[in-house]
């Protein structure tokens, strides 16, 4: 069995594949050459760069598997491939923990104004130390606060585990999920916590922190109306997709004081987000790095290799 790794993969995945007796070619063949080159292989692994469309699939009658490291499958004609008996596998859960941990980082940052401290200390830390100390002395603790999760899938559930670990209460809203049993690993012991989802309105009105974990939506799920119905001093977090929170309404809410702070990893118009968001003192920012950790990359490699081996050895 021969596999072409066209967009790179973690070294651990290559060893796993080779140890399973699969011949690995780890080099990038340009898209226009794949029609001629790919028929020499039994399988291909891609990330987002390489497209595996109908024309390419038709050119490879012996192709058995298409692997995609990561979440989206937009670059692969999945249904067509499956109709030809080709397995299509990906690793949607590999980065869930990383995204949830980043969101928690934004939350801790906002709770204590660290985004302001990190911007001002290098400039004023020696000249205005006491003023900075005074202005940043109204932080909050997270324990006992209510963490509302909109979209209770893979990342939403990881988020809940972290929030519970911090002593927060979790509310979750998801039109497709009623109840979830979360396995919490505490000092090697597994504690199971059951969470029933709530109504959207209940979550909006009762959460101190609201984090969005839905797929990309056609229109924002959080607009001026929803913000108006939130608690005063609410914290909003978005590491899902740019545009699930209306950015203008978010800015209005921050400026009026209704929203105490926001943590954003995703933006409309990436890679040139709205400047007013980037410079706002109440926003903790990151450049869409939720999934980008060493562990997530390793998990992508391991989970992809496991599925490739399982399918090619059938
Ligand atoms: P998932 O499919 O496991 O979970 C999404 C959940 O949202 C599902 O349970 C679904 O039922 C629910 N949902 C759908 N429509 C909804 C609605 N209108 N209201 C409330 N819930 C709704 O997906 P996931 O892996 O948890 O990913 C969640 C989001 O995170 C996606 O938008 C994904 O693009 C994003 N993401 C971001 C990063 C990053 O780097 N920041 C990395 C990976 C994923």
HEC-encoded secondary structure of 229-294: CCCCCEEEEECCCCCCECHHHHHHHHHHCCEEEEEECCCCCCCCCCHHHHCCCCEEECCCCCCCCH
Q: What is the predicted pLDDT for the residue at 22? A: 97
How sure is the predictor about 6, in pLDDT bands with cuts at 50, 70 and 90? very high
Q: Can you say how many angstroms the Cα of residue 183 is from the centroid of all Cα atoms in its chain?
A: 20
Mutate to test the pocket of ligand 1, among 70, 215, 240 (most ligand atoms within 8 A of CB): 215
Q: What is the predicted pLDDT for the residue at 289? A: 96
Residues 26 and 9: beta-carbon distance below 8 Å: yes
How sure is the predictor about 70, in pLDDT bands with cuts at 50, 70 and 90? confident
Cα 103 from Cα 159, distance rounded (Å):
8
Question: Residue 32 gets which letter from DSSP?
Answer: G
Q: What is the C-alpha radius of gyration for the chain, rounded to an integer number of angstroms?
A: 23
- The Å distance, Cα 70 to ligand 1 centre, comes to 14
Q: What is the predicted pLDDT for the residue at 72? A: 83
Q: Is 106 in the pocket of ligand 1 (CB under 6 A)?
A: no
Q: What is the predicted pLDDT for the residue at 96? A: 97
| Mean pLDDT calculated for residue range 248-254 | 98
Model pLDDT for residues 133-190, shown as the tens digit of each residue: 999 999 999 999 999 999 999 999 999 999 999 999 999 999 999 999 999 999 999 9
Q: What is the predicted pLDDT for the residue at 274? A: 98
How sure is the predictor about 98, in pLDDT bands with cuts at 50, 70 and 90? very high
pTM (2 decimals)?
A: 0.93
Model pLDDT for residues 260-296, shown as the tens digit of each residue: 999 999 999 999 999 999 999 999 999 999 999 999 9
Active centre residues (catalytic): 241, 270, 288
Mutate to test the pocket of ligand 1, among 98, 103, 151 (most ligand atoms within 8 A of CB): 151
Q: What is the predicted pLDDT for the residue at 277? A: 98
- The Å distance, Cα 96 to ligand 1 centre, comes to 10
| Mean pLDDT calculated for residue range 70-90 | 95
Q: What is the predicted pLDDT for the residue at 207? A: 99
Terminal C-alpha separation, the chain: 11
Q: Does residue 67 have a pLDDT over 80?
A: yes
Cα 48 from Cα 46, distance rounded (Å):
7
Domains in the chain: ranges and CATH: 2-92+294-312 (3.40.50.720), 96-285 (3.40.50.720)
Q: Is 156 in the pocket of ligand 1 (CB under 6 A)?
A: yes
Q: What is the predicted pLDDT for the residue at 314? A: 74
Tell me what the pLDDT averaged over the chain comes to.
Answer: 97
Q: Does residue 27 have a pLDDT over 90?
A: yes
- The Å distance, Cα 21 to ligand 1 centre, comes to 36
Q: Which of 248, 240, 245 lies closest to 265, judged by CA? A: 240
Residue 146 DSSP SS3? strand
């Amino acid at each position: 069995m021969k596999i072409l790794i066209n967009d790179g993969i973690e070294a651990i995945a290559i060893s796993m594949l080779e140890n399973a007796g699969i011949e690995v070619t780890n080099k990038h063949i340009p898209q226009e050459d794949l029609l001629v080159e790919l028929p020499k292989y039994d399988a291909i692994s891609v990330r987002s760069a390489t497209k595996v469309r109908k024309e390419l699939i038709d050119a490879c009658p012996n192709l058995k598997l298409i692997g995609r490291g990561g979440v989206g499958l937009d670059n692969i004609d999945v249904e067509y491939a499956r109709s030809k008996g080709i397995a299509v596998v990906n690793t949607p859960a590999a980065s869930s923990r990383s995204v949830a941990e980043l969101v928690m980082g934004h939350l801790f940052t906002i709770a204590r104004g660290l985004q302001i401290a990190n911007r001002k200390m290098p400039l004023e830390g020696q000249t205005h130390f006491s003023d900075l100390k005074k202005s940043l002395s109204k932080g909050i603790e997270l324990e006992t606060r209510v963490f509302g999760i909109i979209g209770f899938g893979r990342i939403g559930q990881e988020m809940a585990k972290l929030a519970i670990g911090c002593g927060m209460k979790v509310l979750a809203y998801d039109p497709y999920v009623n109840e979830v049993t979360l396995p919490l690993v505490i000092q090697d012991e597994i504690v199971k916590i059951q969470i029933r989802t709530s109504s959207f309105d209940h979550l909006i009105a009762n959460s101190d922190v609201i984090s969005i974990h839905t797929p990309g939506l056609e229109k924002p799920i959080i607009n001026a109306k929803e913000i108006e119905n939130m608690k005063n001093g609410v914290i909003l977090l978005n590491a899902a997709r740019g545009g699930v929170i209306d950015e203008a309404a978010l800015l209005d809410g921050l400026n009026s004081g209704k929203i105490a702070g926001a943590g954003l990893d995703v933006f409309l118009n990436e890679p040139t987000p709205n400047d007013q968001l980037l410079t706002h003192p109440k926003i903790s920012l990151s450049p869409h790095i939720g999934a980008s950790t060493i562990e997530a990359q390793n998990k992508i490699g391991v989970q992809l290799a496991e599925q490739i081996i399982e399918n090619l050895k059938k």
